[in-house]
Structure 1
């Protein structure tokens, strides 16, 4: 083979390589996929014989680079690998058509970002993501950039009789590289121990901080990796690494799954802000996010208050409360609660216990029972815990100015808590930690004077030993009962 033939063959190989590269590049951004299996293996090549390079959780969205032999090469963040088509649902990405004559393409979602190119009128672009009034796109040449939503329209696929492509997803809160927006709730700036982060052009915020600011109760189930938030008659359930949380049983799709960062659950801001009926506003000039939630308690006729006292032994059933050296909080609180009930009955005061045995009773269910019975007083009994060293007794109440119904009872709630606290300190002679205000579910959701007594610290060895003595439990019960009676006779 002479030199000229060799050169011709090399040229053909080079041209073929370039064509293949362009084809792969153009296909790289055409499709996206959703992982449909629970936890799916990511491999270095298209087959089970290839090395395992990672795993992807169900509902994770990935970019499909290429497909081969029933396998798809995908990209998730900085990670690339192959996943079997059996566990990946591939969808064609939406298309956009440029409507402006010559529209600037920029490196970020705003006119303050550098121009990186231009798109002609009629040019078709692949939609990658949305960011407020900007769209992240890829051109046919593979350039990734941002274009203003004012100069594009969606494109139908196929012939005129084919169904239209899905519209671009609802624009979410924008995110600028290296900058974190300030978050306000009803005009008050929120502080986070784990700062908001940007994930796939979405602002992710600590879920608990915002939900609790809204007055919701947040619990975490370690075994199912699921967060549950409750407020009134609304329940939000958000599994980790899932894009399908539910609100009162109805699935609400989010485009970025919740993540666990530094022991805090981070979720898309717009979902968190709107889950309990709030609205999320964005101010580009000040780079702030404003969440507004209007609290309007429905006025209702005030029921005739009885002199019934509801005693609530904390925890129960599978909800053990604090466990210290095998001693469970639920057993101590039930013992003391039964004693309080007997003492009050003997003094002629009608009572109702939320539980009389070791069973599960929901937090809302406890409050509902007291409300339905038009109880005069609700008192919950608990044991405290912290770090095996802290000790003492405290009694809690809740009457914030943000809740007009509870705030109207602030003096009564505080007086009840103080009456119980005074008797506990006089009887048990432990460190006086005071009567304090705290946002707890049974205090927030009861509609009468209510208090929660933290008798002692169960994880403190000295106080645990005391709590195991019948004499101490009887002293605590008599103190709580006397505090209640003193409040009723004031």
Structure 2
């Protein structure tokens, strides 16, 4: 009996040893918080911020000061207006808590999600600010990472700038004024020509914009805003490069040259 008890003790000790080894090699479960963490890379450098980014209404929100300072901006905060203004060379970006518009120099932009306060820190939309600064963003679903990269090719930088501007509130207002529309839809742009000056620090840009124009129409249901025509404009503007190698708009949307190239009734106009 003593012999059998000895065998049992040896078996139990062996089982405990194997169990401890298995526990050591089995990875601990990842917490929900860790699995939902978003990794932000700026120029391939992983950012380690005190406040973690999060997604709000489909947009990635990041700590305001940490992002701006990483991008090389000098940030000031107006507590009364709850407005942050970031300046780098000739580029100024202003955002306010819970306000649906932002200013990039003199151009107004509509935001998909407003800046907000979270745990006493100001969070701003990563995509809007990064693209306003001239960067491109790439989302990787597999590891929930975002790559923020700056293109070095001047032509591509200018393309990015013009694309941003034609989605701004200022461009929409200018197009409504030119077309006498009560609403417009920007169907896309094509850059036709970028003419650099001798120094390579400024350029004249010609591009076409395909626009659907809507107007207020009275019918038996009252007044509705309906598409009435499609127009194509050739637009000319000037851009320049500042001391920080940032390409900026020199001609604001309201002062660009608009030349009508095509006009036709909208297919389903009332």
Using the size of structure 1 for normalisation, the TM-score is 0.24
Q: Which has the higher contact order (CA 8 A, sep 6+)?
A: 2
Higher-Rg structure is 1
* Greater strand share, structure number: 2
